[in-house]
Structure 1
């Protein structure tokens, strides 16, 4: 890993030499890495590059999140994906069952690996699509680089587990419903955080304990332990990151400097949330009410309870109001 990071650091450097002279090149920013990862089709390579980019960023070897002096490059409407995974509409996806058979457990495991693979793209897309236009502070890039790194590791361990069980990622068809939600919220970071993190990630936290129980009841303790000891605790922090930056955007005044402003930690008072009467503002207000009523800190292990109110009856309203 050290050699890999040294090579990548050289790749991310600012200068190259040619004809005996040193020609300046712009440093590779985190957004540059994000765009490269989104353009990588192979899921294993995508996860590897994501792990490398996050490591370089978090240890300071990538100097800038983005370069304001260079024209921004929009991320792709759809990231590169492997042709080895056959995609179907969500309504035609394979039935997972309840884990009572080996076939059902393989289908569940394949679905989890597929979700984590898409989560890698979602994490880098939020960096590339919103970080620079919204002038988000460095901590935003820190959080989502970590999230992307975790999601890549989750995909890697789950796909390895599929191979251990005699299968592989791509052995079953899947759907890209998560990316459909991403495209419906591509116009707004607030919408993206609300739908992907306060709804979809929270739903995932709510159902994962049942999934763990089904693997355990079926005799697959190894998969159950991966989900219980590695993936579940880290997914809680991902949900926390989404709620944290959702609150940040709600509290950020239009006249504040978003680069200098620190991320707020107290649960916001509903009076501080947008209230201009628009559908988006009303949806934000409703979500804010739900978060405030819980009276809990989203940075601790109770995050899934904080956002639980967004699930159920709130989920459809949030999606309908934000994803237009």
Structure 2
């Protein structure tokens, strides 16, 4: 009988991103409707690939070498923006299935953990498929432009630490996406592309809030469990202090404001979590500056 981790590994080992999204959607539906019943086989330790299977149709460059996306005033700029978003979502599919396969059994996580990230994975697959389809409607296609794999670089750096993975990928990066999406939506709208703006506004944006919320929720759980406490434990200050410690250790540089305070609050991610991480203290003076 196939377990959820077995199926997650099949998704990770599927190279074509469209097939990956379709398979992930099918696996998620089977888990959520009860066709797949076991999260993993406790007697087996299955190897998780260091890097998921990926096709080579996307030219990869270093993040600093990415061409500017522009502000959405031209069709070319809007195509570049949608391509970048689709690429990010393609990696988000892998990140969601990877956290299930890599950490679920290893950390003896409860069934609710698997269900939450299955839902995230299904959302990310839908986002990729919708954005890739929209890109074709705009006269381009996924793979037409270069992209970078910064998200997976962070995944590799946190591959042996669930707290770090949750903090960096599922809190910091997801929250950053929420920060920039309203501006991105406005750029499409100002450029006359109401269809892409509507897609981002009605589907992607609200679901990204739930993804960040999952990261916050399970970061709290893992840390509080290590202290012998449950999620209802009144240890918010300790959780936040641990979050700061983990992010400073595993995320390069300070967080970049401005922050989408409304969306972050909706995800259970108040300013006490992130504002201290955006402040760079001077070693020679007592003044502080915000790092952009």
Whether the TM-score (by the shorter chain) exceeds 0.5 is yes
- Superposed CA offset, 1:13-68 (max 9, x none): xxxxxxxxxxxxxx100000111110000000000000000000011111200000
1:137 is matched with 110
Distance 1:185 1:316, change over 3 A: farther
CA RMSD of aligned residues (A): 2.6
Q: Partners of 2:92 and 2:55 in 1: how far apart?
A: 15
Contact 1:86 1:172 in 2 (8 A): yes
1:43-58 aligned within 5 A: 43-58=17-32
2:69 corresponds to: 96
Q: 1:203 to 1:285 in 2, by over 3 A?
A: closer
Alignment of 1:229-244 (within 5 A): 229-244=202-217
Q: Deviations over 1:250-308 (max 9, x none)?
A: 1114668xxxxxx625763325x498xxxx78715999xxxxxxxxxx9x983357255
Alpha-carbon spacing, 1:87–1:44, altered in 2? closer, same or farther (3 Å): same
2:99 alignment partner in structure 1: 126
- Counterpart Cα distance in 2 of 1:85 and 1:316: 36
Task: Specify whether residues 153 and 281 from structure 1 end up closer, same or farther in structure 2 by C-alpha distance, changes over 3 A only.
Answer: closer
The change in CA–CA distance for 1:52 and 1:217 in structure 2 (over 3 A counts) is same
The count of residues paired between Structure 1 and Structure 2 equals: 268
Residue 35 of structure 1, aligned match among 2, 6, 9? 9
1:270 and 2:243 aligned: no
Q: Distance in 2 between matches of 1:210 and 1:281?
A: 27
Aligned partner of 1:259 in structure 2 is: none
Please tell me whether residue 158 in structure 1 is matched to residue 120 in structure 2: no
Instruction: Give the unaligned 5+ runs of structure 2.
Output: 250-261, 281-292
- Do the aligned partners of 1:203 and 1:311 also contact (CA within 8 Å) in 2? no
1:99–1:214 contact (8 Å) kept in structure 2: yes
Distance in 1 between the 2:6 and 2:156 partners?
Answer: 20
What is the TM-score of this pair, normalised by structure 1?
0.77
Deviations 1:220-263 (A, max 9, x none): 0000000000000000000000000000011114668xxxxxx6
Alpha-carbon distance change, 194 to 212 in structure 1, aligned in 2, over 3 angstroms: same
In structure 2, the residue matched to 1:74 is: 47
Q: Is residue 197–residue 239 contact of structure 1 (8 Å, CA) maintained in 2?
A: yes
- Secondary structure of the structure 1 residue equivalent to 2:189: helix
Q: 1:283 aligned to 234, 237, 245, which one?
A: 245
**SS of 1:252's equivalent?**
helix
Mapped partners of 1:93, 1:241: distance in 2: 30
Aligned to 2:36: 62
Aligned pair 1:314/2:277, yes or no? yes
2:152 matched residue in structure 1: 179
Contact kept in structure 2, 1:199 and 1:310, CA below 8 Å: no
Residue in structure 1 matched with residue 255 of structure 2 by the alignment: none
Residues 60 and 313 of structure 1, relative CA distance in 2, 3 Å threshold: same
Unaligned runs of 5+ in 1: 1-26, 257-262, 288-297, 318-324
**Which structure has the larger Rg?**
1
Q: Does structure 2 retain, via aligned residues, the 8 Å contact 1:206–1:304?
A: no
C-alpha distance in 2 between matches for 1:64 and 1:228? 35
Q: CA deviation at 1:198?
A: 1.8
